[in-house]
Amino acid sequence: MLMGGMEEHVIQLASGLARRGRRTAVICSPYESIRPMRDQLAANGVNVHALPDRGRGPVGAAGRFMALVRTLKTYPGCVLHMHFTGYRGGDLVVLAARAAGASKVVRSVHLPPVPPITRLDRAGISWRDRLLARVICVSRPTRQAHLDALGRDPTKCVVVHNGIDLQRFSPSIAPDGVRSKLRLDDTTPLVGTVSRLGEERKGVNYFIDMAAEVARTHPRARFLVVGDGHLRPALEAQAQRLGIHDRVIFTGERDDVARLLAAMDVFVIPSLYEACQYALLEAMAMGKPVVATPAGVAPDVVFDHDTGLLVPLADSRAMATAVRGLLNDAPLAARLGQKARELMARQFSVDVMVDNISRVYAEAS
């Protein structure tokens, strides 16, 4: 697995609980790819248990079960909060929690349910949900998708939005020479996106199509793609095919996303389906005017012509029209960016998220 939004969420939540003086632990895999998560959690006062892979088959499952029970028994009466991208899996963890005497089990879902969904899936969800105190969905559309597609119990499914570090992502952050390193001057229009380039659902191919449309009327504009993944060669080939390879800049994976966001004039999130796009919330927290599709958390935060611009899914022309509108209307772009920042500061801080999840723990039965 790769470090992504779910891992960032776990770091924020567990660290926030630890700061509040609550004894907090994270049980996770020992994979090298999430070592940064384990290291940061430990540095923030969270107990980290990286349980070894016991292999497949009944023997491996039995070994994992016993390791989970032993670990959970060191936290008697605990609340176990599971985090998964999908709706499948986790049965062994729930059974181990029961055997270890956990007081309640809460599950967060970080994606809407992905088809195909069978009758067996729906039956399995019905059984699993009876063992859960609450199911936390990270956006209203994600909750509704789980209710509609899986028939989940609406009394157990609650919405708690992810939180953003408002100091790390702030309008006060300076780009610190980003444009000069990209060989751009301060007057060059810069339109960007931030995404893992490993999943077609991120819709970055529509961003490239949009860039070709905008370049026709704004030849000085440049387009920044921040992130990496196995789809990058295909996206680079797409830019080459459209004749804009010299206008699209692929940065690869970066650890200075805030500085790159600070350099952008417009931020675009072209997702096809999501649950809660951290990159969108981060750009809004930076006070950037955003163009978003109505996927994931976007309908909860992007109110058209108030906190950003909404465009239809998979519609690069509509996306291009919205981007042109922002590039041509600086006062509109500034107003949308300011309203976006105000919304993030009011409702989407990490502290608000931790408070809301703590409330779920307390109220769940």
Q: Is 24 left (phi over 0), alpha (psi -120 to 50) or beta?
A: beta
pLDDT in tens, 18-54: 999 999 999 999 999 899 999 999 999 999 999 988 7
What structural domains does the chain harbor?
51-163+350-363 (3.40.50.2000), 178-347 (3.40.50.2000)
Q: How far apart are CA 125 and CA 138, in angstroms?
A: 18
Say how far apart CA 360 and CA 159 lie, in whole Å.
10
Quote the distance between the C-alpha of residue 354 and its chain's center: 16
From edge to edge, which strands make up the β-sheet containing 309-310? 248-252, 222-226, 190-194, 266-269, 290-292, 309-310
* Phi, psi for residue 3 in degrees, rounded to 5: -65, 130
- CA–CA distances in Å: residue 361 to residues 54, 67, 91: 30, 24, 20
What's the pTM value of the predicted model, to 2 decimals? 0.89
pLDDT at residue 2, rounded to an integer: 52
Residue 23 and residue 45 in contact, taking contact as beta carbons nearer than 8 Å: no
pLDDT in tens, 66-105: 999 999 999 999 999 999 877 888 999 999 999 999 999 9
| DSSP H helical ranges for 1-87 | 5-19, 35-43, 57-72
Counting as low any pLDDT under 70, the low residues of the chain are 1-3
Q: How far apart are CA 135 and CA 364, in angstroms?
A: 10
Per-residue confidence (pLDDT) for residue 124, from 0 to 100 = 86
- What pLDDT sits at residue 3? 62
